[in-house]
Structure 1
Amino acid sequence: MTTIAESPAQALAHTDLTGTVTAAFAYEVKSAGLARELVKDTLLRWGLGDLVENAVLVASELMTNAIQTGCRRSITLTLEQIGESAVRISVEDGSRYPPVFIKPGLPTNPDRLPAGGRGLVIVDGLCKRWGLDLRPQGKCVFAEIHGPRRPRR
C-alpha cells in the first residue's frame, strides 16, 4: 500500500501493516525531526523495531541534506519494506546537486574542512546500499537498511 500524505501524522494514520508510506515535508529544520518520528512509528507498526535506531539516523541525515539544498520545492520521504527485515528510505527533493560525501580520515588542515558532508559517511556505514537517482525536477537519495534474518518457524 502506498500512502501519499501532506503530513507525517497523516501518512502514519493511513499506513498499512506492511508496504510503503510516503509523506511530503516542508523545507524547514523541524522536518528532519518529523521524518524521524514517522520512520520510528512506521517501523514499530510493521514489527521492525530492530531497524529503528539505524533507520531513524539515516532518515535524519538524508532529510537534513535535502533541507540544506534550499531549493524550496518539495521534500518527499518514502519508506518501503523491501524484505522480511529490510527497508529502503528514499528522500526526494527539487535540487539536482548531489550530496557531498567526505571520506573519513584526519584532515591535513582542519581550518579548511567543509561545514557539512559527514552525514553520508554515517549513511554509508549503516546501510547495505545507498545511492542517488537524478530526476527531471531534482534528485532522490536512497538508502537500504537490512536487519538480522529472522528464524523460520
Structure 2
Amino acid sequence: MNETIQLRPLRERFFARDRRSASAARRFTAEALVGWGLAESPRADDVLLCVSELVTNALVHGVPPGRQLRLFLRYDGCVLRVEVHDSGPGVPHIVDRADEGGRGLLLVAALSDKWGVRERELGKAVWCEFGSGLVGGCQEAGGEEVGVGGEDLRRGEALRGERVGDEVQACQ
C-alpha cells in the first residue's frame, strides 16, 4: 500500500541564538515544503530566502542572549504563512536605501505577497505570506484572497508601518 504522507498544516520549531540557526531554519522549511508538495513550486526559493532573512534579522536584532526564536509555518492549502517570533524589543522596519546594511526586510517585502509585524506581550512576530503563484492560489467567491486561520489580514491597503489592529502592517 503506497500512501502519500501529508504533513499537518502547522509546523514550528525553536532555534538557539546561534549563527547556524538560519541554515537549520532553511532546512526545516525545505522539509515542510516537501511534505506539503510545494518543493517544486516556482516560489519555493522565495519562501526559503524570506525564512533565512527573517531568522537572521531575529538572531542579529531580536533574540536576547540565552533566548531562542520560534519559526512558525502554516499552510492551509492556499496561503503559506511564515512567522518568526523573538522576545527582543523594537519593531523592525525597512531601512533607507542609502544605508549600508539592512536589506533583509526589503527582500522580504519584494518576494512575499505581504508581510508585517505583530507585537506580542514579550517581543514580536515578524511574518510574511505567500499565496499567489504558490500552487495556483485560492479565491473566495467575492474574488478576495483567503486569509489564514480566519484572521483579518487586509491586503495591500496599509502603508508601510501603518498600524492595523494589533499588527503593524507593512504590505506591498
Partner of 2:80: 87
Which TM-score applies when normalising by structure 1? Answer: 0.76
* CA shift digits 1:60-117 (9 cap, x unpaired): 0000000002513220000100343x3000000011211231144xx3xxxxx34x31
Partner of 2:57: 65
Q: Is the 8 A contact 2:12 2:70 kept in 1?
A: yes
Deviation of 1:32 after TM superposition, in Å, equals: 0.3
Which TM-score applies when normalising by structure 2? Answer: 0.68
Structure 2 spans left out of the alignment, 5+ residues: 138-172
Higher helix content, 1 or 2: 1
CA RMSD of aligned residues (A): 2.2
Runs of 4+ in 1 over 6 A off after TM superposition: none
Secondary structure (helix, strand or coil) at the match of 2:83 reads: strand
Partner of 1:77: 71
Map residues 125-136 of structure 1 onto 2, 5 A cutoff: 125-136=110-121
- Give the length in aligned residue pairs: 129
Among residues 52, 71, 91, which one is paired with 2:44 in the alignment? 52
Among residues 88, 95, 107, which one is paired with 1:102 in the alignment? 95
Structure 1 spans left out of the alignment, 5+ residues: 1-14, 108-112
Secondary structure (helix, strand or coil) at the match of 2:75 reads: strand
- Identical-residue share of aligned pairs (%): 31
Q: Is the 8 A contact 1:88 1:145 kept in 2?
A: yes
